[in-house]
Amino acid sequence: MRSAFIFVLSLSACAVVREPSSAEEKYFMTEVKPVFEQHCLRCHNGSLPKPALNLSSKATAFQRTAKGESCLVPGHPDKSLLITAVQRGGTHAKMMPRTDLSLTEDQIGELREWIEDGAFWPEGDQGVLKAVKGPEGF
């Protein structure tokens, strides 16, 4: 009886921890990472003092703000401050990115979909983002 209980517990633990699908990883690498690197990381990177938003890694991107708010809430784009900011809605004090660098509706939709699907962010080198020069030539 005890071994059956342990077996059931181990199965339920395995169900909670799942491996990302290759589709999730590909979506992050081809749709999300380029938006962050081209439009967000020029300002939201590791050189900023805390508690500023740092989108250069998974560990820093998912941290709560000084007010206890979450920039990214996996599964809930409407509760994610990132979406409020890029849509320029709500009462967020600073809408991002700057007006002259606004994201397209497609880019905002891709970020919404990514968050809605669980906001997969790879570990290791693939999950470390660096600002790249975008089409607007910063």
Mean of pLDDT values over 77-84: 90
Residue 10 maps to a domain: no
Is 134 a member of any domain? no
User: Domain tally for the chain?
Assistant: 1
Q: Is 86 inside a domain boundary?
A: yes
Residue among 77, 76, 21, 85 nearest 53 (CA): 85
Quote the mean pLDDT of the chain.
Answer: 78
Closest CA to 111 of 136, 138, 87, 135: 87
Residue 132 lies in a domain: no
Residue 14 lies in a domain: no
Is 49 domain-assigned? yes
The mean per-residue pLDDT over the stretch 80-84 comes to: 88
Does residue 41 surpass a pLDDT of 70? yes
Q: Residue 13: inside a domain, yes or no?
A: no
pLDDT at 57 over 60: yes
- How much of the chain exceeds pLDDT 70, in percent? 68
The answer to the question of residue 103 being in a domain is yes
Kindly state the percentage of the chain with pLDDT values over 90.
40
Residue 52 pLDDT grade (very low, low, confident, very high; cuts 50, 70, 90): confident
* Mean pLDDT score, 99-121: 89
Residue-level pLDDT at 116:
97
Domain that holds residue 74: 20-127
pTM of the model: 0.74
The arithmetic mean of pLDDT across residues 75-98, rounded, is: 74
